[in-house]
C-alpha cells in the first residue's frame, strides 16, 4: 500500500550573497512510500534543489553549492562546494518554518538583546543561546545569571518572563506605543 506524506516549508533568508532583503520561498514536497522497509522517494524536487534554484539568481557565485537544510530543523545555510565536496565560503543563511507558524517578530533586534545580555554577564561562555521566536526572543544563560539578566533586560525596555529557567523576551508594550 502506498503512503503519501506532503509538507510545505517557508524558507526565510536571514541573508544571502550581497542582498539584504530577499522574499521568502515556499518549498512544497511530497514523499511517497510503499511501506515500512521498502524505501521512499520524493515526487517533487528536493528542498535543497528548490532552495538552490532560488538562490542561484541572487548569488554571483557560479560554482557548485552545498545546501544544508532539513524540513524539521529551524536553521539552514548555503555554502560554496569545494572540489573535495567540503564546505567553502558561507554564502547565505536562512530559517525553515512550517506554513502555519507565524513569522518571528521582526521588530526584536537580536544583536541589541545580545549586547545587553553580554553587558550583564561578563563571561560570554555563560550565554548559552539567543534565538528569535514568534513573540520576541528566547534566551538561555547559565542558571547563576538568569535573574540578573532578566533585571537588566527589563531595565532596558524589554518585558521578560522566566519559564523553566529560560528567559522569554519581548518588547515592553509601553515602549512600543511611544516609539
Of 80, 78, 85, the residue nearest 63 (C-alpha):
80
pLDDT at 50: 93
Query: What is the total residue count of the chain?
Result: 179
Question: What is the per-residue pLDDT for 51?
Answer: 93
In this prediction, residue 79 carries a pLDDT of: 94
Please tell me the predicted confidence (pLDDT) of residue 4.
Answer: 59
Question: What's the longest Cα–Cα distance across the chain?
Answer: 60
Residue carrying C-alpha cell 518585558: 159
User: Per DSSP, which regions of the chain are E strands?
Assistant: 3-16, 25-33, 40-42, 65-68, 75-81, 87-98, 127-133, 136-141, 158-163, 166-171
* pLDDT the model gives residue 178: 36
pLDDT in tens, the chain (179 residues): 455 567 788 898 888 887 767 888 999 887 766 555 555 555 567 889 999 999 998 888 888 999 999 887 888 999 999 888 788 999 999 988 888 766 655 556 778 888 889 889 988 888 888 887 777 888 999 989 999 999 999 998 888 999 888 999 886 543 443 33
The C-alpha atoms of residue 50 and residue 122 are separated, in whole angstroms, by 43
Alpha carbons within 13 angstroms on the beta-carbon side of residue 29 total 24
Q: Do residues 47 and 27 make contact, with C-beta atoms less than 8 angstroms apart?
A: yes
Supply the pLDDT for residue 131: 81
56-to-17, 51, 79, 80 alpha-carbon distances in Å: 10, 8, 12, 12
Cell numbers representing residue 179 in the block = 516609539
CA nearest 55: which of 29, 73, 79, 87? 79
The highest-level CATH class for domain 110-178 is: alpha beta
- CATH 3.30.1360.60 region(s) of the chain? 110-178
**pTM of the complete model beyond 0.75:** no
Amino acid at each position: 500500500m502506498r503512503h503519501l506524506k506532503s509538507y510545505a516549508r517557508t524558507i526565510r533568508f536571514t541573508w544571502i550573497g550581497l542582498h539584504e532583503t530577499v522574499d521568502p520561498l515556499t518549498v512544497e514536497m511530497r514523499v511517497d512510500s510503499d511501506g515500512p522497509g521498502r524505501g521512499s522517494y520524493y515526487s517533487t524536487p528536493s528542498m535543497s534543489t528548490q532552495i538552490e534554484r532560488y538562490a542561484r539568481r541572487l548569488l554571483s557565485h557560479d560554482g557548485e553549492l552545498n545546501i544544508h537544510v532539513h524540513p524539521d530543523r529551524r536553521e539552514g545555510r548555503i555554502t560554496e562546494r569545494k572540489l573535495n565536496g567540503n564546505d567553502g565560503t558561507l554564502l547565505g543563511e536562512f530559517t525553515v518554518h512550517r506554513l502555519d507558524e507565524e513569522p518571528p517578530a521582526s521588530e526584536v533586534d537580536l544583536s541589541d538583546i545580545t549586547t545587553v545580555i553580554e553587558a550583564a554577564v561578563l563571561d560570554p561562555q555563560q550565554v548559552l543561546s539567543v534565538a528569535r521566536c514568534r513573540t520576541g526572543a528566547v534566551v538561555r544563560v547559565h542558571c547563576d545569571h538568569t535573574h540578573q539578566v532578566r533585571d537588566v533586560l527589563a531595565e532596558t525596555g524589554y518585558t521578560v518572563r522566566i519559564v523553566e529557567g529560560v528567559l522569554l523576551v519581548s518588547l515592553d508594550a509601553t515602549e512600543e506605543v511611544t516609539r
